[in-house]
Structure 1
Amino acid sequence: MSIRLVSWLKPRALLISSVILLGGCTQYGTQPPQVKSVVNPTVKQSSWEQRQAYLARRQNWSLGSKISLRYGDENYIFGLSWAQQNASQYTMQITHPLTGALVAKLSRQSGGVTLLADNGRTYRDTDEERLLQNQSGVRIPVKGMQYWVRGMTSPEYKVDQLILDNLGRPETLYQAGWKVSYSNYTNNSTQAMPRRVVLTRSKDKLYIKLIAKTWQGV
């Protein structure tokens, strides 16, 4: 039996009002008027390319964060610890935002993807996004987020539009049907990590806000 999103997350995470959770009314992301890459000034573009190369060399990293998720009329908040080991292996722990109790653990190794729920059940697949959709009812863009949370474009998808700030860091990114927005970084360097990332996908009425608490390995 699959773990639907409402029955899975609601007893384990905090269901709170959209005003508290999302800071007001949410505008779901839309596709850009024209699907094309934005040509940025030379300095910005050079800084962006340096950033991409710098982060691509750092494949082992970890992130401690809080996630706000809105799906339709339901709102959730939970903790997310992400430990990445090279480009293809990781462990993600989903925790209760107040107690820190483990809700679920998603991991990818050479043999595929495993989802361990707090009831002791284990679910397996070769694709993490399909696995999460089957068990929660929501398709979370894990493969894209591996890059997006660090302020990078994913090599798996075409870049529809990219807007950079003055330091060559992404402000807004459209990729794979998602709008990814960045509003805060850890410092004023080109290689700084994002502190606040918002992902929206209009056709799924899905809103994900990530607040980074700790970064390591980057």
Structure 2
Amino acid sequence: MNRIARCVRHGLALSLIGLLSTACAPSWVKPPELQAGTEQNRLLALTHWRLEGRVAIQAHGEGVNANLYWEHDGRQDRVRLSGPFSQGAVSVVLQDDLIYLNEGNGNIRSSRDPEELLKDRLGFSVPLRELRYWVLGLPSPRGAPAYVSVAGVAGEVRSFSQQGYSLTYERFARVKEFDLPQKLSAQGRELKLKLIVDEWVLN
């Protein structure tokens, strides 16, 4: 049984994978300073949202698929991944730089270094603190992104690079007044993450 498959079975699989493409020719611009009232600022101001979807991850030549539930509530993120019929579920609670990892059977671990804990348990690092913004289609404020590709009538961000990862957004869904990612990918040196969002809920 490969390492990632073992992790899923014991409740240890974590988040998102890579698709590529842009339908129309993008324009490349330096990341602008966010202006008050822009959609990016309004997205950053959201305090409650959740998504449900499917995630795939590849690392070190191995791969696994999982169902994903992600809820953001103020300064806390709750992430749950599971296999078919909710088998091998793992739950993660992220509060700023503090992470709680529930592997099931009452086995809960915590750390002030989220990436290091995930690397210890999974064999590779997952940038959860950045993903909290990337799933919304935004660069993380934790570090400046490289050049950003913008396309579409609404000028959606189609791709950017940050923290050693290349982000690509293939499809968006209109949710209330926002265009939110429906299909996205993140590719780094150690892993590729791909996410398909089936449902967005904004509160």
Determine the structure 2 residue equivalent to 1:38. Answer: 29
Structure 2 spans left out of the alignment, 5+ residues: 21-27
Cα deviation, 1:2-46, whole Å, max 9, x if unaligned, reads xx64421257699xxxxxxx99xx88xxxxxxxxx8248x9xx98
2:7 alignment partner AA? W
* Structure 1 residue 183 corresponds to structure 2 residue 194: no
CA distance in 1, matches of 2:129, 2:136: 13
Determine the structure 1 residue equivalent to 2:116. Answer: 130
**TM-score, structure 2 normalization:** 0.81
Q: Kindly state the Cα deviation for residue 111 of structure 1 after the two structures are TM-superposed.
A: 9.0
Correspondent of 2:137 among 131, 139, 151? 151
CA distance in 2, matches of 1:142, 1:209: 14
Q: Kindly state the Cα deviation for residue 152 of structure 1 after the two structures are TM-superposed.
A: 0.7
Higher share of residues assigned helix: 1
Secondary structure, counterpart of 1:159 in structure 2: coil
- CA gap 1:199/1:169 in 2 versus in 1, 3 angstroms: same
* Structure 1 residue 8 corresponds to structure 2 residue 4: no
% identical aligned pairs? 20
Higher share of residues assigned strand: 2
Secondary structure, counterpart of 2:72 in structure 1: strand
Q: Larger relative CO (CA 8 A, sep 6+): 1 or 2? A: 2
Q: Kindly state the Cα deviation for residue 119 of structure 1 after the two structures are TM-superposed.
A: 3.3
Determine the structure 1 residue equivalent to 2:44. Answer: 56
Q: Which range is displaced more, 118-127 or 4-13?
A: 4-13
1:119 alignment partner AA? N
Equivalent residues of 1:168, 1:190 under 8 A apart: no
Aligned residues between the structures: 190
- CA gap 1:127/1:149 in 2 versus in 1, 3 angstroms: same
Cα deviation, 1:82-118, whole Å, max 9, x if unaligned, reads 11112x311111111x212351100024793210012
Report the RMSD for the aligned CA atoms in angstroms: 3.2
